[in-house]
Structure 1
Amino acid sequence: MADEEDNRVRSLSDLPDNVLGRVLSFLPTQEASRTSILSKSWRYLWSLTPNLDLDDQRAYNPNNYLTHSTNLLFLNYVERSISLRKFTKSFHLKFSIYDDRSNRHDVSSLESWITGLVKRNVEAVSLSLHIHRRVISIDFPDCFLSCKTLVDFEIESTKAGALVIYIPEPLRPSMCFSSLKTLSFINVTFTNEDSTNQLFSSCPVLEELTLNQCRWWDIKALNVLAPKLLRLTIIEPAYNANEPEEFRNCRIAVLGTNLMHFKYEGIFRHEYYLCNSPSLDKACIEGFPKVLEHGYYRLYRILRCISNLKDLEIRLVPKVEEQDLYNMPMFKNVTRLHILSRVKGNGLMKILQNSPSLSEILIFYEGIYLPFDIESLPLCLSHLKNIEFRVYGNEIITSENAFKYLLENAFVLKKMIISFYWTGSLTSFSGDEENFRKYILELPRRSKDCEVYVSFFISW
């Protein structure tokens, strides 16, 4: 009985160090480190937590501004947090870089921290840098470019400053992210064509790549060699009429034989090629093809590269004219197509003819029109099951023929949803909303299982 009482835990300090380290790992790093003042036995327990999550704004100043002295305190705190650990699983840092006095010191400290993390077999690194001056350049240490334990890496530049990544040239053969699976660059500028190409060809097991608002300064061609790549996201920076020509017209080719998902947003300032991607299943293209001279040419170049996929979503701003669809490629395997753009004219027939396997379509329109003299039925009507139209504008009467044609010729159609959006008074088939809805619902249907839903929305 006495032995049992002796073995009983009377306080947290009686727990084994590894258990206490596990408990502290559920706290933010800066909260966990404050337990070091409890007693001698607690002094270094917080260093047993495998993850570091550090934020200089949260650490010292609630007014979102760091003085030079508090900035130095934070630099020392991060250095100590890393050096006390034998192993660091993940490192998440939010860090501000301010004026000319301290920024080089800040950047040197950052590069030193990265070296320390590599020595501690880090697996995940996330850097969010608040840059308060025009340009900051970071040199990745050689050891980081050959880190064998790194699995996830993200670096982001916020505020108005530019973050330039410098990669030594040439990369040695040993410099390879042999374990890297997720790579994300946000608002980052690359400047050296040869070393940048080497970087994006040194990730043999990369599965997810995000290039968000990246700039390619005077880089004419970029090749991404990633045979294991599954997901690719490219988001271009917002349009700036005054941006230098060196930031445009890069030829970006991605060779990913296992690529399954692709997302693009931008103004088509570069040429994109997705080479040898037979596994591509889903893509989302959102852009402004009329901003630059070659916008539609580059849009259709992308579409031709991905024409074998099954699921496609396209959103083009502001509108898509009928002539804009003349070069639309054939989508032989697309079964689900969402065109979230205001398409005008006879574009619907072009879309149906070029999508022979289509089973679901959602399309925005300003007056849907189908010609009366259709010589042959589009192949997709034999297996089209779901149709949704969102019709914009006051010319609702022009859409009547399209609804009638599709209902009479879609063999296995199960659902048609029609939503009208117009401004001002309604101009419709019979002069009022309910009669027009009734007219649509009473149209003959080829498919006996087809259900039709009609809604009206007014905006002033």
Structure 2
Amino acid sequence: MDASSRMVQYKKQKLDRAEEMIGGSKSLSNLPDVLIVKILSLLPTKDAIRTSILSKRWEYIWTSLPNLKFIQWKFENKRTLLVNAVERALILRGPADIKEFSLSFEVLGDALRVNTWISAVLQHNVEDLSLVLHSFKDPVSLPRSLFMSATLKVLLLELPCIFKVPSTICFSSLRSLTLSSVVFSDDYSAQQLFSGCSVLEEIFLYGCNWANLNFVSISAPKLLRFTIDEGDSQILRGSDGCQIMVLGVRLAYFSYTGEFLDDYCFYNSSANEALISLNSIKRVQHVSYRLNKLLNGLSSVKHLTICDTSFEVVQTNASEHLMPSFNNLTTLIFERVEVDLGCKGLLAFLQNCPCLKYLIFCEGIGLYSDDAKDDGMLEPLPPCFLNSLEEIDVLEFCGDEDELHAMKVLLKCAMVLKKVTINWCSGVQVEPKTMKDINKQLLDLPRGSGNCKVVCLCAR
């Protein structure tokens, strides 16, 4: 008996034992197809396909699965195996709709085959479509029917090539659009794409290249979340990028990560929460201008997270008239950067946050300059320290002198502070007695607010 036959016999024995455990008329083999499909849907597609060898009854049940995911590396790099699996799934498919279809595939010379697969999936009223396609030998042009789908609600396209779209686009049900590594071909096609998504609620753009474009506006009245991550994308030599205008939307969340290769502008738009992260700074004045332009458009934000190792450089090189006022900002979070409390950029920024209530330093805080006056007060003192700042969280605290100095200044300057939480860094090498002594110093520091409570939390 060869290995393949032993494997089939083994799986049949496992199935028989499962049936015996269930027993009687309620055995697994007597379950209705719809329930078996429900069970199989909990398995990865590759494993669900393998159940076809268990019996005649099971041979085609997997072809009715609502969710089909074909990821090349999960097929042990056997390209032919994946191709055959996709072909079988679509050829043997009955009338049942496909709710979710995912394909990750090295296309090579099979662009026409892939388009046939996509067209077949669309005929089954797919709602969630994910296409991660790489290694093209020929130019890629996705089927026109994709861009006219009335059932598609979620679309993810990862295509590291020129993104060609038809002249007519109508995604009447599309709620979420993710584009990764695509190269937009021209202003008109990009504008057609975003204009054809009338009910869009989420946009995610990862490593996209806008270098062939000069201007595009994104106006989706129901848009709630917008994420841009420039990744490793590069602009063409001599290009200053594209102006991308977000027009007439009220976002719940906006996120930007990159080097401002392109120019982003909010016009008659707003966001409740925003995250800004700069990867690196090569052209300081250029980045300063574009950052401040973006922040001006986000000036009504309530929750802002800054992830920037060059925050001081960017702010101190920006023109004063470009610095926006954040009159609605209540929560300011600094991530992935240890903040210098004496940073002129930080103090300038806090001057324009008159209603700030919560200040969070995720990577710790220190005072490395002499910008605090001899009496331990910041100069100039931000208005929020006098009127609104109620809570400060400091994470990754290590207990060194610069951190203690910063905490002393914070506690003395914040006049309406209610609570300060200090979280010790999990990796810090401090003796328990030393930590206890430092905690006592923190608890004994003088405070500008008589109602301020200091809490020191040890790392778990």
Match of 2:277 in 1: 286
Aligned length: 412
Q: Which amino acid aligns with 2:386?
A: L
Find 1:378's aligned residue among 372, 376, 383: 383
Consecutive unaligned residues of structure 2, counting only runs of 5 or more, are 1-23, 426-433
Residue 19 of structure 1 corresponds to which residue in structure 2?
Answer: 35
What CA distance in whole angstroms lies between the structure 2 residues aligned with 1:282 and 1:419?
A: 24
How far did residue 192 of structure 1 move?
A: 2.6
Change in CA separation of 1:382 and 1:42 when aligned onto 2, cut-off 3 Å? same
- Does 2:252 correspond to 1:260? yes
1:259-312 Cα offsets, whole Å, 9 max, x none, are: 11011100011000122234x211110004632351111011111110111110
> Is the CA contact (8 Å cut-off) linking 1:346 and 1:370 kept in structure 2?
no
Number of the residue aligned with 1:407? 411
Q: Quick check: 2:347–2:382 contact (8 Å CA) kept in 1?
A: no
Change (3 A) 1:39 1:435: closer
How far does residue 382 in structure 1 lie from its aligned partner after superposition?
Answer: 1.6
Contact 1:365 1:390 in 2 (8 A): no
1:33 corresponds, among 45, 49, 56, to 49
Cα distance in 1 for residues equivalent to 2:409 and 2:213 = 51
Q: Deviations over 1:309-348 (max 9, x none)?
A: 1110112124524724644321101111123444454344
* Alignment counterpart, residue 184 of structure 1, candidates 175, 178, 184: 178
Greater shift, 364-373 or 19-28, is seen at: 364-373
- Kindly indicate whether the alpha-carbon contact (under 8 Å) linking 2:206 and 2:230 is maintained by their aligned counterparts in 1: yes
| Cα distance change, pair 247–148 in 1 and its aligned pair in 2 (3 A) | farther
Matching residue within 246, 254, 275 for 2:267:
275
TM-score by length of 1: 0.78
After superposing the two structures, state which structure 1 stretch, 265-274 or 248-257, moved more: 248-257
Matched, 1:167 2:165: yes
Q: How does 1:190-205 map to 2 (within 5 A)?
A: 190-205=184-199
- Letter in structure 1 aligned against 2:66: P
1:39-63 residue CA offsets vs partner (Å, 9 max, x unmatched): 444332222221111123323xx3x
Distance 1:392 1:330, change over 3 A: farther
Answer yes or no: is 1:125 the counterpart of 2:129.
yes
Change beyond 3 A, Cα 1:115–1:367: same
What is residue 115 of structure 2 aligned with on the other side? 111
Native 8 Å contact 2:367 2:402 kept in 1: no
Letter in 2 for 1:53: K
Quote how far apart the aligned CAs of 1:163 are.
2.9
Instruction: State the alpha-carbon separation in 2 of the partners of residues 315 and 90 from structure 1.
Output: 35
Post-superposition Cα deviations, 1:76-97, rounded to whole Å, max 9, x if no partner, equal: 4312312322221110112123
Shift of 1:191: 1.2
Aligned amino acid, residue 125 of structure 1:
L
Q: Counterpart amino acid of 2:90?
A: I
How far is the alpha carbon of 1:138 from its aligned partner? 2.5
Instruction: Structure 1: give runs of 5+ residues left out of the alignment.
Output: 1-7, 98-102, 422-431
Match of 2:368 in 1: 367
Alpha-carbon deviation of 1:441?
4.5
Shift of 1:204: 1.2
1:51 to 67, 88, 109: 67
SS in structure 2 of the partner of residue 260 of structure 1: strand
Q: Which whole-Å deviations, capped at 9, do the CAs of 1:241-264 have from their partners, x for residues lacking one?
A: xx5237651111122523110111
CA contact (8 A) 1:189 1:216 kept: yes
Aligned partner of residue 161 in structure 2, secondary structure: strand
CA contact (8 A) 2:53 2:59 kept: yes
d(CA) in 2 for partners of 1:376, 1:40 = 78
Inter-CA distance 167–365: structure 2 relative to 1 (3 Å threshold): farther
Distance 2:396 2:402 in 1: 11
- Amino acid of the structure 2 residue aligned with 1:261: Y
User: Which residue matches 1:251?
Assistant: 243
Whether 1:328 and 2:323 are equivalent positions in the alignment is yes
Whether contact under 8 Å (1:355, 1:380) holds in the other structure is no
- Tell me the distance in 1 between the aligned counterparts of 2:60 and 2:281: 60
Partner of 1:88: 98
- For residues 163 and 440 of structure 2, the distance between their equivalents in structure 1, rounded to whole angstroms, comes to 62
Provide Cα deviations, 1:88-112, integer angstroms capped at 9, x if missing partner.
Answer: 1110112123xxxxx23x2111111
Task: Find the counterpart in structure 1 of residue 82 from structure 2.
Answer: 74
Q: 1:150 touches 1:177 (CA, 8 Å); kept in 2?
A: yes
In 2: Cα distance, 1:29 partner to 1:373 partner: 60
Distance 1:217 1:373, change over 3 A: closer
Amino acid across the alignment from 2:417: L
Inter-partner Cα distance in structure 1 for 2:378 and 2:291: 31
CA RMSD of aligned residues (A): 3.5
Q: Check 1:16–1:362 CA distance in 2 against 1; reply closer, same or farther (3 A cut).
A: closer
Deviates more, 1:18-27 or 1:262-271: 18-27
State whether structure 2 residue 299 is matched by structure 1 residue 307: yes
Contact 1:367 1:395 (8 Å CA) reproduced:
no
Distance 1:42 1:420, change over 3 A: closer
Distance 1:267 1:365, change over 3 A: farther
CA contact (8 A) 2:366 2:402 kept: no
